[in-house]
Amino acid sequence: MAKDFPTRAENYSQWYNDLVIKADLAENSAVRGCMVIKPYGYAIWEKVQAALDKMFKDTGHVNAYFPIFIPKSFFSKEASHVEGFAKECAVVTHYRLKNSPDGKGIIVDEEAKLEEELIVRPTSETIIWDTYKNWIQSYRDLPILINQWANVVRWEMRTRLFLRTAEFLWQEGHTAHATRPEAVKEAETMLHIYADFAENWMAMPVLKGVKSPAERFAGAVETYAIEALMQDGKALQAGTSHFLGQNFAKAFDVKFLSRENQLEYVWATSWGVSTRLMGALIMSHSDDNGLVLPPKLAPIQVVIVPVFKTPEQLALISETVVPIKKALESKGVSVKFDDRDTHKPGWKFAEYEFKGVPVRLTVGPRDIEQGTIEVARRDTLEKETLQIKDIENKIVHLLDAIQSNLYQRALSFRENNTFRVDSWEEFKIVLDTTGGFISAHWDGTSETEERIKEETKATIRVIPLNNMPEEGRCVYSGKPSTQRVIFARAY
Protein backbone atom coordinates (compact mmCIF):
# COMPACT_ATOMS: atom_id res chain seq x y z
CA MET A 1 0.00 0.00 0.00
CA ALA A 2 2.50 2.60 1.15
CA LYS A 3 5.18 1.42 -1.22
CA ASP A 4 6.99 4.28 -2.96
CA PHE A 5 5.28 6.72 -0.63
CA PRO A 6 7.64 9.60 0.18
CA THR A 7 7.92 11.09 3.64
CA ARG A 8 6.87 14.68 4.25
CA ALA A 9 10.48 15.65 4.83
CA GLU A 10 11.62 14.10 1.55
CA ASN A 11 9.05 15.77 -0.65
CA TYR A 12 6.02 17.35 0.95
CA SER A 13 4.29 18.13 -2.30
CA GLN A 14 4.73 14.61 -3.65
CA TRP A 15 3.70 13.19 -0.27
CA TYR A 16 0.39 15.09 -0.54
CA ASN A 17 -0.34 14.06 -4.12
CA ASP A 18 0.51 10.42 -3.51
CA LEU A 19 -1.52 10.37 -0.33
CA VAL A 20 -4.64 11.67 -2.06
CA ILE A 21 -4.35 9.10 -4.81
CA LYS A 22 -3.20 6.08 -2.81
CA ALA A 23 -5.75 6.61 -0.06
CA ASP A 24 -8.46 6.51 -2.77
CA LEU A 25 -9.64 10.04 -2.07
CA ALA A 26 -9.52 11.54 -5.55
CA GLU A 27 -7.72 11.40 -8.87
CA ASN A 28 -7.28 13.45 -11.99
CA SER A 29 -9.79 12.90 -14.77
CA ALA A 30 -9.55 12.94 -18.54
CA VAL A 31 -10.64 16.58 -18.40
CA ARG A 32 -7.73 18.88 -17.63
CA GLY A 33 -7.95 20.26 -14.09
CA CYS A 34 -11.16 18.43 -13.19
CA MET A 35 -10.97 15.74 -10.52
CA VAL A 36 -12.86 12.54 -9.83
CA ILE A 37 -13.78 12.40 -6.14
CA LYS A 38 -13.64 8.69 -5.30
CA PRO A 39 -16.10 7.02 -2.91
CA TYR A 40 -13.81 7.16 0.13
CA GLY A 41 -13.03 10.83 -0.41
CA TYR A 42 -16.65 11.60 -1.18
CA ALA A 43 -17.78 9.89 2.03
CA ILE A 44 -15.64 12.37 3.99
CA TRP A 45 -17.12 15.25 1.97
CA GLU A 46 -20.64 13.98 2.78
CA LYS A 47 -19.79 14.19 6.48
CA VAL A 48 -18.46 17.72 5.99
CA GLN A 49 -21.67 18.64 4.16
CA ALA A 50 -23.97 17.12 6.75
CA ALA A 51 -22.29 18.90 9.66
CA LEU A 52 -22.17 22.29 7.93
CA ASP A 53 -25.69 21.98 6.56
CA LYS A 54 -27.04 21.41 10.05
CA MET A 55 -25.11 24.42 11.37
CA PHE A 56 -26.53 26.59 8.57
CA LYS A 57 -30.08 25.41 9.19
CA ASP A 58 -29.75 25.81 12.96
CA THR A 59 -28.98 29.48 12.30
CA GLY A 60 -32.06 30.01 10.12
CA HIS A 61 -30.71 29.38 6.63
CA VAL A 62 -32.48 27.40 3.92
CA ASN A 63 -31.15 25.77 0.78
CA ALA A 64 -32.11 26.56 -2.79
CA TYR A 65 -30.66 26.06 -6.26
CA PHE A 66 -29.73 28.59 -8.95
CA PRO A 67 -28.66 27.99 -12.58
CA ILE A 68 -25.17 26.81 -13.42
CA PHE A 69 -25.01 29.27 -16.32
CA ILE A 70 -24.64 33.02 -16.03
CA PRO A 71 -25.19 35.36 -18.99
CA LYS A 72 -21.91 37.04 -19.86
CA SER A 73 -23.34 40.54 -19.48
CA PHE A 74 -24.17 39.90 -15.80
CA PHE A 75 -20.49 39.94 -14.91
CA SER A 76 -20.00 43.41 -16.26
CA LYS A 77 -22.60 44.86 -13.92
CA GLU A 78 -20.47 44.95 -10.78
CA ALA A 79 -17.24 46.71 -11.68
CA SER A 80 -14.73 45.02 -9.36
CA HIS A 81 -16.48 41.63 -9.62
CA VAL A 82 -15.82 41.42 -13.35
CA GLU A 83 -12.11 42.10 -12.80
CA GLY A 84 -11.86 39.35 -10.22
CA PHE A 85 -14.03 36.69 -11.72
CA ALA A 86 -15.08 36.87 -15.30
CA LYS A 87 -11.74 36.11 -16.88
CA GLU A 88 -10.64 32.53 -16.44
CA CYS A 89 -13.98 30.84 -17.02
CA ALA A 90 -15.56 28.08 -19.05
CA VAL A 91 -17.53 29.77 -21.81
CA VAL A 92 -20.49 28.08 -23.49
CA THR A 93 -20.87 29.44 -27.02
CA HIS A 94 -22.96 26.79 -28.81
CA TYR A 95 -25.86 24.52 -27.97
CA ARG A 96 -25.68 21.80 -30.57
CA LEU A 97 -23.32 19.31 -32.16
CA LYS A 98 -23.80 17.53 -35.47
CA ASN A 99 -22.33 14.61 -37.33
CA SER A 100 -19.12 15.50 -39.08
CA PRO A 101 -19.52 15.57 -42.91
CA ASP A 102 -16.54 13.21 -43.20
CA GLY A 103 -18.45 10.70 -41.09
CA LYS A 104 -15.79 10.76 -38.37
CA GLY A 105 -17.27 11.79 -35.07
CA ILE A 106 -19.16 14.94 -34.25
CA ILE A 107 -18.49 18.65 -34.66
CA VAL A 108 -19.93 21.86 -33.29
CA ASP A 109 -22.94 23.05 -35.30
CA GLU A 110 -21.99 26.63 -36.16
CA GLU A 111 -25.64 27.45 -36.78
CA ALA A 112 -26.36 26.79 -33.11
CA LYS A 113 -24.43 29.75 -31.76
CA LEU A 114 -25.81 31.43 -28.66
CA GLU A 115 -26.79 35.07 -29.02
CA GLU A 116 -25.10 35.76 -25.71
CA GLU A 117 -22.41 33.48 -24.36
CA LEU A 118 -23.06 31.73 -21.05
CA ILE A 119 -20.42 31.40 -18.35
CA VAL A 120 -20.27 28.29 -16.19
CA ARG A 121 -20.62 29.87 -12.73
CA PRO A 122 -17.34 30.65 -10.95
CA THR A 123 -19.53 32.03 -8.11
CA SER A 124 -23.20 33.01 -8.15
CA GLU A 125 -23.60 36.54 -6.78
CA THR A 126 -24.72 37.94 -10.13
CA ILE A 127 -27.37 35.38 -11.09
CA ILE A 128 -28.66 35.31 -7.52
CA TRP A 129 -28.98 39.07 -7.16
CA ASP A 130 -30.69 39.20 -10.53
CA THR A 131 -33.19 36.73 -9.00
CA TYR A 132 -33.50 38.48 -5.63
CA LYS A 133 -34.54 41.60 -7.48
CA ASN A 134 -37.94 39.98 -8.09
CA TRP A 135 -38.24 38.60 -4.58
CA ILE A 136 -37.68 41.78 -2.64
CA GLN A 137 -40.10 44.69 -2.49
CA SER A 138 -40.45 45.50 1.19
CA TYR A 139 -38.61 45.07 4.48
CA ARG A 140 -41.11 42.27 5.14
CA ASP A 141 -39.34 40.23 2.44
CA LEU A 142 -36.07 40.49 4.38
CA PRO A 143 -33.84 38.94 5.47
CA ILE A 144 -33.29 36.29 2.81
CA LEU A 145 -30.95 33.63 4.21
CA ILE A 146 -30.19 31.19 1.40
CA ASN A 147 -27.42 28.67 0.88
CA GLN A 148 -26.67 26.57 -2.19
CA TRP A 149 -24.61 23.38 -2.51
CA ALA A 150 -23.21 23.37 -6.01
CA ASN A 151 -20.34 22.82 -8.41
CA VAL A 152 -18.41 25.79 -9.74
CA VAL A 153 -15.72 26.19 -12.40
CA ARG A 154 -12.67 28.44 -12.47
CA TRP A 155 -10.21 27.81 -15.26
CA GLU A 156 -7.08 27.38 -13.15
CA MET A 157 -3.86 26.82 -15.02
CA ARG A 158 -1.96 25.01 -12.27
CA THR A 159 -4.19 22.55 -10.47
CA ARG A 160 -3.74 20.24 -7.47
CA LEU A 161 -6.26 17.69 -6.24
CA PHE A 162 -8.73 19.32 -3.82
CA LEU A 163 -6.55 22.42 -3.31
CA ARG A 164 -7.02 24.00 -6.70
CA THR A 165 -9.13 22.38 -9.38
CA ALA A 166 -10.97 23.74 -12.41
CA GLU A 167 -14.24 22.32 -11.12
CA PHE A 168 -14.88 22.04 -7.42
CA LEU A 169 -17.80 21.47 -5.09
CA TRP A 170 -18.81 24.05 -2.54
CA GLN A 171 -21.56 25.78 -0.71
CA GLU A 172 -22.26 29.43 -1.24
CA GLY A 173 -24.50 31.42 1.07
CA HIS A 174 -26.13 34.57 -0.27
CA THR A 175 -28.08 36.71 2.14
CA ALA A 176 -30.04 39.94 1.81
CA HIS A 177 -30.70 42.35 4.67
CA ALA A 178 -32.51 45.57 5.45
CA THR A 179 -29.66 47.18 7.37
CA ARG A 180 -25.92 47.40 7.28
CA PRO A 181 -25.40 46.20 10.87
CA GLU A 182 -27.56 43.16 10.25
CA ALA A 183 -25.52 42.21 7.17
CA VAL A 184 -22.21 42.75 8.98
CA LYS A 185 -23.48 40.58 11.83
CA GLU A 186 -24.46 37.84 9.37
CA ALA A 187 -21.00 37.87 7.74
CA GLU A 188 -19.41 37.59 11.18
CA THR A 189 -21.81 34.86 12.32
CA MET A 190 -20.87 32.74 9.34
CA LEU A 191 -17.16 33.28 9.97
CA HIS A 192 -17.65 31.95 13.48
CA ILE A 193 -19.60 28.97 12.17
CA TYR A 194 -16.75 28.14 9.80
CA ALA A 195 -14.22 28.46 12.62
CA ASP A 196 -16.39 26.29 14.87
CA PHE A 197 -16.60 23.63 12.16
CA ALA A 198 -12.86 23.77 11.42
CA GLU A 199 -11.89 23.43 15.07
CA ASN A 200 -14.55 21.07 16.41
CA TRP A 201 -15.07 18.78 13.41
CA MET A 202 -11.86 19.01 11.41
CA ALA A 203 -9.72 19.35 14.58
CA MET A 204 -7.97 22.16 12.74
CA PRO A 205 -7.21 25.38 14.64
CA VAL A 206 -7.82 28.52 12.61
CA LEU A 207 -7.10 32.23 12.86
CA LYS A 208 -10.11 34.45 12.37
CA GLY A 209 -9.68 37.83 10.82
CA VAL A 210 -10.31 40.17 7.95
CA LYS A 211 -8.40 40.38 4.71
CA SER A 212 -6.41 43.39 3.61
CA PRO A 213 -8.10 45.37 0.82
CA ALA A 214 -5.81 43.77 -1.76
CA GLU A 215 -6.89 40.27 -0.75
CA ARG A 216 -10.62 41.01 -0.59
CA PHE A 217 -13.19 39.13 -2.62
CA ALA A 218 -14.02 40.91 -5.87
CA GLY A 219 -17.05 43.01 -5.00
CA ALA A 220 -16.78 42.85 -1.21
CA VAL A 221 -16.55 45.73 1.26
CA GLU A 222 -15.00 43.46 3.86
CA THR A 223 -13.78 39.86 3.56
CA TYR A 224 -13.59 37.74 6.71
CA ALA A 225 -11.51 34.58 6.57
CA ILE A 226 -10.32 31.62 8.56
CA GLU A 227 -6.70 30.63 7.98
CA ALA A 228 -5.07 27.37 8.97
CA LEU A 229 -1.39 26.42 9.07
CA MET A 230 -0.31 23.32 7.19
CA GLN A 231 2.56 21.04 8.26
CA ASP A 232 4.91 22.49 5.66
CA GLY A 233 4.57 25.93 7.20
CA LYS A 234 2.26 27.29 4.51
CA ALA A 235 -1.08 28.90 5.26
CA LEU A 236 -4.35 27.72 3.76
CA GLN A 237 -7.43 29.92 3.50
CA ALA A 238 -10.15 27.54 4.60
CA GLY A 239 -13.28 29.66 4.33
CA THR A 240 -14.38 33.20 3.62
CA SER A 241 -17.39 35.32 4.50
CA HIS A 242 -17.98 38.60 2.72
CA PHE A 243 -19.85 41.73 3.69
CA LEU A 244 -20.82 43.00 0.24
CA GLY A 245 -22.35 46.30 1.29
CA GLN A 246 -24.87 47.50 -1.30
CA ASN A 247 -22.60 46.74 -4.26
CA PHE A 248 -24.65 43.95 -5.78
CA ALA A 249 -27.96 45.58 -4.92
CA LYS A 250 -26.83 48.65 -6.84
CA ALA A 251 -25.47 46.60 -9.73
CA PHE A 252 -28.79 44.73 -10.08
CA ASP A 253 -31.04 47.54 -8.86
CA VAL A 254 -32.47 45.73 -5.84
CA LYS A 255 -34.34 48.18 -3.60
CA PHE A 256 -36.84 47.74 -0.83
CA LEU A 257 -39.37 49.88 0.97
CA SER A 258 -38.11 50.27 4.53
CA ARG A 259 -40.18 50.41 7.74
CA GLU A 260 -39.82 54.16 7.41
CA ASN A 261 -41.33 53.95 3.92
CA GLN A 262 -38.07 54.86 2.21
CA LEU A 263 -36.80 53.14 -0.94
CA GLU A 264 -33.33 51.79 -0.06
CA TYR A 265 -30.76 49.44 -1.54
CA VAL A 266 -30.52 46.02 0.05
CA TRP A 267 -27.42 44.95 2.05
CA ALA A 268 -25.70 41.69 1.17
CA THR A 269 -23.35 38.97 2.32
CA SER A 270 -21.92 35.88 0.69
CA TRP A 271 -19.85 33.10 2.23
CA GLY A 272 -18.42 29.79 1.14
CA VAL A 273 -16.29 26.77 1.80
CA SER A 274 -15.33 24.16 -0.76
CA THR A 275 -13.76 20.76 -1.37
CA ARG A 276 -10.53 22.66 -0.68
CA LEU A 277 -11.34 21.82 2.97
CA MET A 278 -10.50 18.24 2.05
CA GLY A 279 -6.97 19.32 1.23
CA ALA A 280 -6.75 21.21 4.52
CA LEU A 281 -8.05 18.20 6.43
CA ILE A 282 -5.54 15.87 4.80
CA MET A 283 -2.57 18.17 5.36
CA SER A 284 -3.46 19.08 8.95
CA HIS A 285 -3.13 15.63 10.47
CA SER A 286 -1.69 13.05 8.10
CA ASP A 287 1.76 11.57 8.58
CA ASP A 288 4.39 9.50 6.81
CA ASN A 289 2.24 6.40 7.28
CA GLY A 290 -0.64 7.90 5.37
CA LEU A 291 -3.93 9.60 6.08
CA VAL A 292 -4.99 10.54 9.62
CA LEU A 293 -8.66 11.46 10.02
CA PRO A 294 -10.39 13.08 12.99
CA PRO A 295 -13.05 10.61 14.22
CA LYS A 296 -15.91 13.05 13.62
CA LEU A 297 -15.26 13.09 9.87
CA ALA A 298 -14.01 9.53 9.37
CA PRO A 299 -16.31 7.39 7.18
CA ILE A 300 -15.10 4.34 9.11
CA GLN A 301 -14.35 5.21 12.74
CA VAL A 302 -13.49 1.73 13.93
CA VAL A 303 -12.27 -1.24 11.91
CA ILE A 304 -12.25 -4.73 13.37
CA VAL A 305 -9.68 -7.14 11.94
CA PRO A 306 -10.01 -10.80 12.92
CA VAL A 307 -6.87 -12.93 12.99
CA PHE A 308 -7.78 -16.48 12.03
CA LYS A 309 -6.53 -19.54 10.19
CA THR A 310 -9.69 -21.61 9.93
CA PRO A 311 -13.36 -20.86 9.28
CA GLU A 312 -14.06 -22.23 12.78
CA GLN A 313 -11.76 -19.65 14.33
CA LEU A 314 -13.45 -16.90 12.32
CA ALA A 315 -16.86 -18.14 13.48
CA LEU A 316 -15.71 -18.06 17.09
CA ILE A 317 -14.27 -14.57 16.72
CA SER A 318 -17.43 -13.36 14.98
CA GLU A 319 -19.51 -14.49 17.94
CA THR A 320 -17.62 -11.99 20.10
CA VAL A 321 -17.10 -9.27 17.52
CA VAL A 322 -20.55 -8.92 15.98
CA PRO A 323 -22.19 -7.90 19.28
CA ILE A 324 -19.40 -5.36 19.86
CA LYS A 325 -20.00 -3.95 16.38
CA LYS A 326 -23.72 -3.66 17.05
CA ALA A 327 -23.20 -2.07 20.45
CA LEU A 328 -20.84 0.51 18.94
CA GLU A 329 -23.25 1.23 16.09
CA SER A 330 -26.06 1.77 18.57
CA LYS A 331 -23.87 4.50 20.05
CA GLY A 332 -23.56 6.14 16.64
CA VAL A 333 -20.08 4.79 15.85
CA SER A 334 -19.46 3.59 12.28
CA VAL A 335 -17.74 0.21 12.34
CA LYS A 336 -16.37 -2.03 9.63
CA PHE A 337 -15.77 -5.71 10.39
CA ASP A 338 -13.35 -6.84 7.70
CA ASP A 339 -13.72 -10.61 7.76
CA ARG A 340 -12.52 -11.21 4.22
CA ASP A 341 -10.39 -14.29 3.82
CA THR A 342 -8.85 -12.97 0.61
CA HIS A 343 -6.49 -10.64 2.43
CA LYS A 344 -4.12 -11.29 5.33
CA PRO A 345 -4.34 -9.33 8.61
CA GLY A 346 -1.04 -7.57 7.90
CA TRP A 347 -2.37 -6.29 4.58
CA LYS A 348 -5.50 -5.04 6.33
CA PHE A 349 -3.49 -3.31 9.05
CA ALA A 350 -1.51 -1.42 6.42
CA GLU A 351 -4.64 -0.62 4.41
CA TYR A 352 -6.64 0.93 7.26
CA GLU A 353 -3.64 2.67 8.70
CA PHE A 354 -2.99 4.28 5.33
CA LYS A 355 -6.63 5.27 5.01
CA GLY A 356 -6.61 6.97 8.40
CA VAL A 357 -9.20 4.87 10.24
CA PRO A 358 -8.98 6.27 13.80
CA VAL A 359 -9.27 3.00 15.75
CA ARG A 360 -8.40 -0.58 14.83
CA LEU A 361 -9.49 -3.55 16.91
CA THR A 362 -7.68 -6.83 16.41
CA VAL A 363 -9.11 -10.09 17.72
CA GLY A 364 -7.46 -13.50 17.50
CA PRO A 365 -8.22 -16.90 19.05
CA ARG A 366 -6.07 -16.15 22.09
CA ASP A 367 -7.99 -12.91 22.71
CA ILE A 368 -11.21 -14.90 22.72
CA GLU A 369 -9.78 -17.29 25.33
CA GLN A 370 -8.56 -14.44 27.50
CA GLY A 371 -11.48 -12.05 26.99
CA THR A 372 -9.20 -9.37 25.54
CA ILE A 373 -8.97 -7.24 22.44
CA GLU A 374 -6.09 -5.27 20.93
CA VAL A 375 -6.84 -1.61 20.40
CA ALA A 376 -4.65 0.49 18.09
CA ARG A 377 -5.10 4.22 17.64
CA ARG A 378 -4.10 5.85 14.36
CA ASP A 379 -3.06 9.25 15.71
CA THR A 380 -0.26 7.98 18.00
CA LEU A 381 0.10 4.48 16.49
CA GLU A 382 -0.07 3.16 20.08
CA LYS A 383 -1.49 -0.26 20.81
CA GLU A 384 -2.83 -1.71 24.02
CA THR A 385 -4.64 -4.85 25.03
CA LEU A 386 -7.94 -4.25 26.83
CA GLN A 387 -10.52 -6.41 28.54
CA ILE A 388 -13.54 -6.89 26.28
CA LYS A 389 -15.87 -6.02 29.15
CA ASP A 390 -17.38 -2.57 28.58
CA ILE A 391 -15.26 -2.17 25.45
CA GLU A 392 -17.94 -0.02 23.75
CA ASN A 393 -17.63 2.80 26.27
CA LYS A 394 -13.86 2.60 26.19
CA ILE A 395 -13.91 2.98 22.39
CA VAL A 396 -16.31 5.91 22.52
CA HIS A 397 -14.00 7.66 24.97
CA LEU A 398 -10.99 6.80 22.87
CA LEU A 399 -12.58 8.37 19.79
CA ASP A 400 -13.18 11.56 21.77
CA ALA A 401 -9.59 11.46 23.00
CA ILE A 402 -8.26 11.08 19.45
CA GLN A 403 -10.40 13.98 18.20
CA SER A 404 -9.11 16.12 21.01
CA ASN A 405 -5.49 15.00 20.63
CA LEU A 406 -5.47 15.82 16.92
CA TYR A 407 -6.72 19.31 17.65
CA GLN A 408 -4.17 19.86 20.43
CA ARG A 409 -1.35 18.53 18.28
CA ALA A 410 -2.28 20.84 15.40
CA LEU A 411 -2.64 23.74 17.83
CA SER A 412 0.80 23.10 19.32
CA PHE A 413 2.24 22.94 15.83
CA ARG A 414 0.70 26.27 14.99
CA GLU A 415 1.87 27.86 18.22
CA ASN A 416 5.39 26.57 17.65
CA ASN A 417 5.30 27.94 14.14
CA THR A 418 3.93 31.39 14.78
CA PHE A 419 6.65 34.01 15.07
CA ARG A 420 6.65 37.59 16.26
CA VAL A 421 9.03 39.26 13.86
CA ASP A 422 10.33 42.80 14.05
CA SER A 423 12.97 43.01 11.33
CA TRP A 424 12.94 42.43 7.60
CA GLU A 425 15.99 40.18 7.91
CA GLU A 426 14.23 37.93 10.38
CA PHE A 427 11.07 37.98 8.25
CA LYS A 428 12.96 36.48 5.33
CA ILE A 429 14.83 33.98 7.49
CA VAL A 430 11.62 32.61 8.96
CA LEU A 431 10.12 32.20 5.51
CA ASP A 432 13.18 30.47 4.16
CA THR A 433 13.62 28.10 7.11
CA THR A 434 10.57 26.96 9.07
CA GLY A 435 7.85 28.92 7.33
CA GLY A 436 4.78 29.45 9.48
CA PHE A 437 2.68 32.42 10.53
CA ILE A 438 4.58 35.67 10.94
CA SER A 439 3.08 38.31 13.19
CA ALA A 440 4.58 41.60 12.08
CA HIS A 441 3.87 45.30 11.82
CA TRP A 442 2.59 46.62 8.50
CA ASP A 443 2.20 50.22 7.44
CA GLY A 444 -1.28 49.56 6.08
CA THR A 445 -0.52 50.35 2.43
CA SER A 446 -1.19 48.11 -0.54
CA GLU A 447 2.16 49.17 -2.01
CA THR A 448 4.11 47.64 0.86
CA GLU A 449 1.94 44.53 0.80
CA GLU A 450 2.61 44.14 -2.93
CA ARG A 451 6.35 44.56 -2.55
CA ILE A 452 6.53 42.03 0.26
CA LYS A 453 4.62 39.60 -1.95
CA GLU A 454 6.95 40.20 -4.87
CA GLU A 455 10.07 39.74 -2.80
CA THR A 456 9.03 36.80 -0.65
CA LYS A 457 5.74 35.38 -2.00
CA ALA A 458 4.32 35.98 1.48
CA THR A 459 0.94 37.67 1.75
CA ILE A 460 -1.15 39.09 4.54
CA ARG A 461 -3.33 36.18 5.54
CA VAL A 462 -5.47 38.01 8.08
CA ILE A 463 -5.71 41.04 10.24
CA PRO A 464 -6.88 39.13 13.33
CA LEU A 465 -10.33 39.87 14.77
CA ASN A 466 -10.10 41.80 18.06
CA ASN A 467 -6.49 42.59 17.24
CA MET A 468 -4.65 44.41 20.05
CA PRO A 469 -3.54 47.90 19.04
CA GLU A 470 0.24 48.16 19.29
CA GLU A 471 2.51 50.99 18.22
CA GLY A 472 5.34 49.86 16.00
CA ARG A 473 7.13 50.23 12.70
CA CYS A 474 6.35 48.37 9.47
CA VAL A 475 8.67 45.39 9.10
CA TYR A 476 9.29 46.33 5.45
CA SER A 477 9.00 50.11 5.10
CA GLY A 478 9.80 51.18 8.66
CA LYS A 479 6.82 53.51 8.57
CA PRO A 480 4.56 53.81 11.63
CA SER A 481 2.11 50.99 12.25
CA THR A 482 -0.72 50.56 14.74
CA GLN A 483 -1.07 46.79 14.77
CA ARG A 484 0.51 43.49 13.83
CA VAL A 485 -0.94 41.41 11.00
CA ILE A 486 -0.34 37.78 10.02
CA PHE A 487 1.88 37.05 7.03
CA ALA A 488 2.62 33.69 5.44
CA ARG A 489 3.22 31.96 2.19
CA ALA A 490 -0.02 30.31 1.26
CA TYR A 491 -1.70 27.62 -0.81
Cα–Cα dist 260/65, whole Å: 33
Residue 92 interacting with its own copies (CB under 8 A):
yes
Interface positions, 211-240, toward its own copies (CB under 8 A): none
User: How many other CB atoms are there within 10 angstroms of residue 367's CB atom?
Assistant: 21
Cβ density class 288-305: b for 16+ within 10 Å, e for less: ebbbbbbbbbbbbbbbbb
Which of residues 8, 38, 185, 394 is near its own copies by CB under 8 A? 38
Q: Work out how close the CB of 121 gets to its own copies at its nearest, in angstroms, rounded to a whole number.
A: 10
Total interface residues for its own copies by CB under 8 A? 64
Amino acid at 475: V
| Closest CB to its own copies among residues 16, 75 | 75
CA 303 to chain centre: 26
Cα–Cα dist 454/452, whole Å: 5
Cα–Cα dist 209/223, whole Å: 9
| Closest CB to its own copies among residues 12, 170 | 170
Residue 43 interacting with its own copies (CB under 8 A):
yes
Q: Work out how close the CB of 222 gets to its own copies at its nearest, in angstroms, rounded to a whole number.
A: 26
Residue 311 interacting with its own copies (CB under 8 A):
no
Residue 369 interacting with its own copies (CB under 8 A):
no
Q: Work out how close the CB of 155 gets to its own copies at its nearest, in angstroms, rounded to a whole number.
A: 4
Q: Could you tell me which residues come within 8 angstroms of residue 354 by beta carbon, excluding any fewer than 6 positions away?
A: 1, 2, 22, 23, 289, 290, 291
Residue 74 interacting with its own copies (CB under 8 A):
yes
* 235 sits in which H/E element: strand 235-245
Q: Work out how close the CB of 136 gets to its own copies at its nearest, in angstroms, rounded to a whole number.
A: 14
| Closest CB to its own copies among residues 273, 431 | 273
Q: Work out how close the CB of 407 gets to its own copies at its nearest, in angstroms, rounded to a whole number.
A: 28
Residue among 85, 65, 63, 61 at smallest CA distance from 74: 85
- DSSP codes joined into one string, 10-45: T-HHHHHHHHHHHTTSEEE-SSTTPEEE-HHHHHHH
Cα–Cα dist 491/488, whole Å: 10
| Closest CB to its own copies among residues 98, 420 | 98
Residue 93 interacting with its own copies (CB under 8 A):
yes
Residue among 155, 147, 230 at smallest CA distance from 190: 147
Residue 261 interacting with its own copies (CB under 8 A):
no
User: Would you say 452 and 468 are in contact if contact means Cβ atoms under 8 Å apart?
Assistant: no
- DSSP codes joined into one string, 296-349: GG-S-SEEEEE--SSHHHHHHHHHHHHHHHHHHHHTT--EEE---SSS-HHHHH
Name the one range near its own copies by CB under 8 A: 1-9, 37-45, 264-272, 329-337.
Answer: 37-45
Residue 389 interacting with its own copies (CB under 8 A):
no
Residue 72 interacting with its own copies (CB under 8 A):
yes
R_g (Cα) of the chain, nearest Å: 26
| Closest CB to its own copies among residues 44, 204 | 44
Residue 80 interacting with its own copies (CB under 8 A):
no
Residue 95 interacting with its own copies (CB under 8 A):
yes
Q: Work out how close the CB of 303 gets to its own copies at its nearest, in angstroms, rounded to a whole number.
A: 16
Which of residues 64, 315, 322, 381 is near its own copies by CB under 8 A? 64
| Closest CB to its own copies among residues 91, 214 | 91
Q: Work out how close the CB of 433 gets to its own copies at its nearest, in angstroms, rounded to a whole number.
A: 39
Interface positions, 107-126, toward its own copies (CB under 8 A): 108, 117-120
Q: Work out how close the CB of 171 gets to its own copies at its nearest, in angstroms, rounded to a whole number.
A: 13
Cα–Cα dist 31/160, whole Å: 13
Residue 69 interacting with its own copies (CB under 8 A):
yes
Please report, as ranges, the residues that interact with its own copies according to CB under 8 A: 27, 29-31, 34-39, 42-43, 45-46, 62-76, 82, 86-98, 104-106, 108, 117-120, 127, 130-131, 134, 140, 146, 150-151, 153, 155, 167, 169, 342
